[in-house]
Amino acid sequence: MKKNMGSADRIIRTIIAALIAVLYFTGTISGTLGIVLLVFAVIFLLTSFISFCPLYAPLGINTCKVKDK
């Protein structure tokens, strides 16, 4: 897998995932919506850790800065 996420994108996804987790575990969001958002939070965390977003590949999006040699 070629990395296609830059550091800013990874930080934003991690912050959003943490915010969703806090809202879910404090009871602010609950029910089906809470579970769906929690699943998205887990996906955001996983994609930010591996620096690869599967949706970016077919859309041709690449936020990772490439170093020229």
- Copy the structure tokens of residue 34: 């809470």
For 46-57, the pLDDT digits (tens) are: 999 999 999 988
Q: What's the pTM value of the predicted model, to 2 decimals?
A: 0.84
Per-residue pLDDT, 3: 87
> What does 3-46 look like in DSSP terms, one character per residue?
----HHHHHHHHHHHHHHHHHHHTTSS-HHHHHHHHHHHHHHHH
